[in-house]
Amino acid sequence: MTASNPTTALIRQQFDFAAAHRLHVPELSAEENLAIFGHCNNPAGHGHNYRFEPCVAVSLNTGKPDFTLGKLEQLAHEVILSRFDHKHLNHDTEEFGPSGVIPSVENIAKVFFDLMAPAVRDASSGKAELHAMTVWETDRTSCTYPADNPTTNSQ
């Protein structure tokens, strides 16, 4: 991609889901977990109205598009929302369960990226790529994965 004649665009769409989680490291004491995670370590968990935004790199062309926002919406529902919406992430999902990772916002962003990337690639016959995944835990707290993409800052 060149600045004078770009051939790639980044498309984004935001989606909302509700989920509960608990931030807890079993190898640490109750006091250590509380000191690190505060109220997010509540044994019963707590909930958020999350938002996530996949960012997909697509080729610009004048013919049939390789990947559309409609396809992005379909994949978001099939791959992410059907699996994580209205779930307790620690109890109801393999990715964040006992053998998974802590459901922190950064781990959620990575897991979502890892799930969506092959789906985007397959749906576009390899012509579109998931560029980044941003997850908001609150209106003020978010994480974008991967962090090394210079154009992942979304508004």
Catalytic member of 46, 77, 86, 91: 86
- Of 62 and 13, which is predicted with more confidence? 13
Phi-psi region of 144 (alpha: psi -120 to 50; beta: other; left: phi over 0): beta
> What would the pLDDT profile of 12-36 be if each residue is shown by its tens digit?
999 999 999 999 999 999 999 999 9
Any catalytic annotation for residue 55? no
Q: Using alpha carbons, select from 100, 103, 112, 135 the residue that is nearest to residue 37.
A: 103
Any catalytic annotation for residue 86? yes
Q: Using alpha carbons, select from 139, 138, 117 the residue that is nearest to residue 128.
A: 117
Q: What is the pTM of this model?
A: 0.90
Domains in the chain with CATH codes? 8-145 (3.30.479.10)
Catalytic member of 40, 48, 55, 95: 40
| DSSP 8-class letter at 117 | H
